[in-house]
Structure 1
């Protein structure tokens, strides 16, 4: 040990933000362990570091006794009084016990401790930075593929894009820049484990926040998101100012804003609908682009029966039920869709994959005027 080490600790405090006292405490603990390992584990020792001289000293705590039976733990009264004249039997005296070659051990231990603490501090700094970014969006660079996972370079660390969080049929080329959503940050002994996603609904929400100033400024609010990544999504928006068109703001001039989001998601279709506190209106809007004639809602069961023109039935349901499924996710309601002709039938009506009971001819539903 020497003054260069003390200076190095001070430099680390300034450059890395690692407190010198924390490093000194860690160094003392490591030196104490090294001493016990090399010179006797039974002794109760303390380590003292002279910061002015850069010198390390080992002191053993020994009990003052009349007759010494264990020299590692005991000291005679006469010998103890040479060190501390006021001591008495039963007292504890600190005796210098620094071995001749302890300087070499101290130097090696100090190097190991400093390196370890630097690594831990850097990991903690990265963790603290990214734990505050959970639920946020970042741009990363595709680093490499590891089995089915994609490793993303985030600058100070790497993130893992696992298969369930990858958009179906999306290729990830090395050095490609992509936007990712931070799902979770876990603290591990090897550093932060950052789980990211390209399929999370939050990614769609954050992308619109980046592209639409009205959303960023809080004028337009995203009320709900439903997504089947890589295929189609629905976004419900509302304006907090009556003279601002929420849908128009999200679409942007000539569709530029929504197209920027679609391009980032490699062509994923996005339906932007107007939010409404009226469940019937919201359900009708959610089935866009299909035209809805009426909606009958059962608030207790959270079920809605929707009537559409005959020629709009397949559009309302969507390919493999996708449009109706996304509408249900967006609104939180179970949605059964009927055509006008089905409504007039007296027998059971097959809706998607379920069979409803007989429908009365005086079926009562809320008419929706979509021209409003």
Structure 2
């Protein structure tokens, strides 16, 4: 029996709870939906109360339930509670005006050279650079060379791996039941989603403009694409980069991103990305590119844990660092050394040409 369309969000929310370890049985999901119907509901508070009552949420996990509820129904997300002041909360921002704060623990150690943790909010204007030829070449070459994956749909093919019974029988009908050719089909392919996580902190100041220009070109070339910036906060900039005119698109990015050239909180930012269920869903089976020097400030445990989680979700995870352009480069920070087993490559990001060349080779790995 097909469920009414209006019940889909509540069924999906119950599935999200199960994926986070809550024991939600099918009959509890049905009771949850029935309780919502009895309550109206008049507002989100009624839905929240129905969930608490009918889904048997343990009292000790009430805060986690609240966080997942806000993430799904209100577009907000909060990580597992951590000690610290509100000043340590890392904000997640989307251009629709939705903001949420993800608490992160205090850290006292310093790892990462010149990387700093202080939040410096600023906006940026982008000047034109003489790299248009590289970007134009990349835009021409990218569509057929971006990584692809097989879909569940099939298309006619002379060398398909399965009989195309529909086409074969249609031809037989036209020929009074005679079958002269056994038509074949194979699975179609679709482009894998590509996710850019762009470090806009102070230690990346000299490369930020070029990386955002590359991100805009990739957004115009890729069918499935997401982009986020991070420094002392995480900002989704996908919609801005989809604007076709580059000056307008980058101007919009400059308005959205408030933490240019500030501190570096890589682990916290990646953790915030993963703690928003919708964002984590983007990464499933995707090619994830982290454009960062990896100069993490603070305890590397957060960054290591986040990279491990991201690696398990993604099809592949590539770290592109401007420092890797040096022939004698070797990771020196504790965090970047620790995540090497979890990333597919640590690549040169010192120039647009190097970044573009790396992305164009991803299709051969599919």
The structure whose residues are more often helix, as a share, is 2
Does the TM-score normalized on the shorter chain lie above 0.5?
A: no
Shorter chain as normaliser: what TM range?
A: under 0.3
TM-score for the superposition, normalised by structure 1: 0.26
Name which one, 1 or 2, has greater alpha-carbon Rg.
Answer: 1
The structure whose residues are more often strand, as a share, is 1
